């Protein structure tokens, strides 16, 4: 290179500088959103305290909201209708009595928050959605998961619409249901990473009169981001139709993931129709191969999940060993489940675990 030639700028340098600016803008936006959440909480507190001064509280409260709305709208523009002010009042009323603040503070000490008696971590839009969840344990669960997984508002709505709380609660015991409200979903062993059922409404398959396993797989790949959201925390996609060979015979695993929390491979086999014992035997072989030929010595045993549209629990139980902790069969649904039906099932399950002694237990 001659003295007059200019050294080309490293592309990674340009991208790194751009990333610094992008992150700074994101942080600034987050800080602004959080500042408004704290402001709305404070406004709600002031409205509640001012309403308490009036003798006829209902009439006085209505007058406060109307005059405050007019004053703030003239001064600051849109965003201060009486409806919005009522939401701020409701926000304060709900969260001033909510003890989840300390739980979130303990779990997310690295996240910024204004130093007040109550800490917030999400946008105002998130809290508008959360406030509409009457069950306090369920609300706590979705708030924790939204913070932990950095869910957008759309992702929060989708997870709520797919009844994630009820589905996880139905797949665990009573004590762990209570933990969901305190800690969110904890992935510590293989069973924690498995749902039953999985909800795949985003694939759009309900519009098809029939479809093949290859079509199901292709739809999942086309909607991989949504599928990862449905799988839960810690999953990374490795590949589709992953081939391995032994004894001169070729085999294909439909979908291969890795879970960084469990530190193990997670294999998915997709089945249309009723699950058969041969399908379970095939997954056992896949899992054994990965354990013996693929996983590293310091990684945990492979998990195999058979996704099927219909399963017989008796066949699954009789095919797998009693101490099975690696292979699971789960149904998948192509439409959103009925939240009311799942809530009823959960209430019945909790009543059964209580021995039927506490019929008035609410979840």
pLDDT tens sequence across 197-239: 899 999 988 777 788 999 999 999 999 999 999 999 899 999 9
- Three-state secondary structure along the chain? CCCCCCCCCCHHHHHHHHHHHHHHHHHHHHHHHHHHHHHHHHHHHHHHHHHCCCCCHHHHHHHHHHHHHHHHHHHHCCCCCHHHHHHHHHHHHHHCCCCHHHHHHHHCCCCCCCCCCCCCCCCHHHHHHHCCCCCHHHHHHHHHHHHHHCCCHHHHHHHHHCCHHHHHHHCCCHHHHHHHHHHCCCCCCHHHHCCCCEECHHHCHHHCCCCCHHHHHHHHHHCHHHHHHHHCCCEEEEEEEEEEEECCEEEEEEEEEEECCCCEEEEEEEEEEECCHHHHHHHHHHHHHHHHHHCCCCCCCCEEEEEEEECCHHHHHHHCCCCCCCEEEEEEECCCCCHHHHHHHHHHHHHHHCCCCCCCCCC
Calculate mean pLDDT across residues 299-326: 90
> 198-336: which CATH architecture?
3-Layer(aba) Sandwich (3.40)
Q: Is the pLDDT at 361 greater than 80, yes or no? A: no
Pairing of the two strands 327-333 and 303-310? parallel
Are 170 and 129 contacting, i.e. CB atoms less than 8 angstroms apart? no
Whether the per-residue pLDDT at 284 is higher than 70: the answer is yes
Provide the percentage of residues in the chain whose pLDDT is more than 90. 48
Asked whether the predicted pLDDT for residue 178 surpasses 80, the reply is no
Cβ–Cβ < 8 Å for 248, 190: no
Kindly state the tokens that stand for 189.
Answer: 């062993």
What pLDDT does 3 receive?
Answer: 60
Q: Can you tell me the mean pLDDT for 127-151?
A: 93
User: What's residue 50's pLDDT?
Assistant: 87
Tell whether the model's pLDDT for residue 310 goes beyond 60.
yes
- To the nearest whole number, what is the mean pLDDT of the chain? 85
CA–CA distances in Å: residue 281 to residues 200, 217, 286, 317: 25, 21, 9, 13
Residue 280 binned pLDDT confidence (cut-offs 50, 70, 90): very high
Q: Which range has the worst mean pLDDT, 17-21, 176-180, 183-187?
A: 176-180
Q: Is the pTM of this model over 0.85?
A: no
Q: Identify the band that residue 179 occupies on the pLDDT scale cut at 50, 70 and 90.
A: confident
Which tokens go with 267? 């294999």
DSSP bridge pairs for 252: 243
pLDDT at 360: 39
Residue range(s) occupied by CATH 3.40.1350.10 in the chain: 198-336
| pLDDT interval class at 55 (50, 70, 90) | low
* Best CA proximity match to 37, nearest among 97, 103, 98, 95: 95
Which of 37-51, 114-128, 159-173 holds the top average pLDDT? 37-51
**Is pLDDT above 70 for 126?**
yes
Per-residue pLDDT for 339 more than 90?
Answer: no
Distance CA(27)–CA(357), nearest Å, equals: 51
Residue whose token pair is 């945990």: 300
User: What pLDDT is attached to residue 362?
Assistant: 33
pLDDT value at position 2? 59
- Could you read off the pLDDT of 56-91 as tens digits, one per residue? 666 777 888 899 999 999 999 888 999 999 999 999
C-alpha to C-alpha distance for 296 and 3, rounded to whole angstroms: 51
Residue 131 burial by Cβ neighbours in a 10 Å radius (0-12, 13-18, 19+): middle
Q: pLDDT value at position 250?
A: 93
* Confidence band, pLDDT 50/70/90 cuts, at residue 363: very low
Residue pLDDT, tens place only, 257-267: 999 999 999 99
- For residue 280, the number of C-alpha atoms closer than 13 Å in the C-beta half-sphere is 21
Taking the C-alpha atoms of residue 150 and residue 158, their distance in angstroms, rounded to an integer, is 14
**What is residue 68's predicted lDDT score, i.e. its pLDDT?**
92
In this prediction, residue 317 carries a pLDDT of 85
In this predicted structure, what is the pLDDT of residue 130? 96
């Amino acid at each position: 290179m001659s003295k007059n030639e200019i050294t080309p700028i490293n592309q990674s340098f340009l991208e790194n500088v751009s990333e610094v600016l992008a992150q700074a803008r994101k942080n600034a936006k987050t800080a602004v959103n959080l500042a408004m959440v704290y402001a709305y909480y404070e406004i709600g507190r002031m409205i509640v305290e001012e309403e308490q001064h009036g003798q006829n509280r209902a009439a006085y409260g209505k007058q406060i909201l109307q005059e405050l709305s007019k004053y703030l709208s003239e001064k600051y523009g849109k965003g201060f209708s009486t409806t919005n002010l009522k939401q701020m009042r409701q926000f304060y009323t709900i969260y001033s009595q909510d003890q989840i603040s300390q739980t979130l503070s303990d779990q997310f000490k690295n996240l910024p928050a204004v130093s007040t008696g109550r800490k917030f971590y999400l946008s105002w839009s998130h809290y508008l959605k959360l406030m509409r969840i009457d069950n306090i344990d369920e609300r706590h669960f979705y708030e924790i998961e939204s913070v932990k997984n950095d869910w957008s508002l759309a992702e929060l709505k989708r997870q709520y619409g797919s009844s994630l709380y009820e589905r996880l609660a139905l797949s665990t015991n009573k004590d762990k249901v209570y933990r969901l409200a305190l800690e969110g979903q904890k992935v510590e062993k293989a069973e924690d990473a498995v749902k039953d059922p999985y909800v795949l409404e985003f694939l759009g398959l309900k519009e098809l009169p029939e479809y093949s396993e290859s079509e199901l797989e292709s739809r999942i790949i086309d909607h991989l981001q949504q599928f990862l959201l449905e799988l839960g925390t810690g999953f990374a996609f490795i590949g589709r139709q992953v081939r391995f060979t032994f004894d001169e015979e070729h085999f294909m695993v439909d979908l291969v993931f890795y879970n960084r929390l469990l530190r193990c491979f997670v294999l998915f086999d997709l089945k249309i129709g009723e699950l058969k014992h041969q399908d379970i035997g095939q997954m056992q072989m896949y899992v054994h191969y990965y354990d013996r030929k693929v996983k590293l010595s310091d990684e945990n045993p492979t998990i195999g999940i058979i996704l099927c549209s219909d399963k017989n629990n008796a066949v699954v139980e009789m095919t797998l060993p009693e101490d099975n902790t690696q292979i699971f069969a789960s149904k998948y649904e192509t439409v959103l489940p009925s939240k009311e039906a799942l809530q009823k099932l959960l209430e019945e399950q909790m009543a059964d675990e209580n021995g039927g002694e506490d019929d008035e237990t609410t979840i």
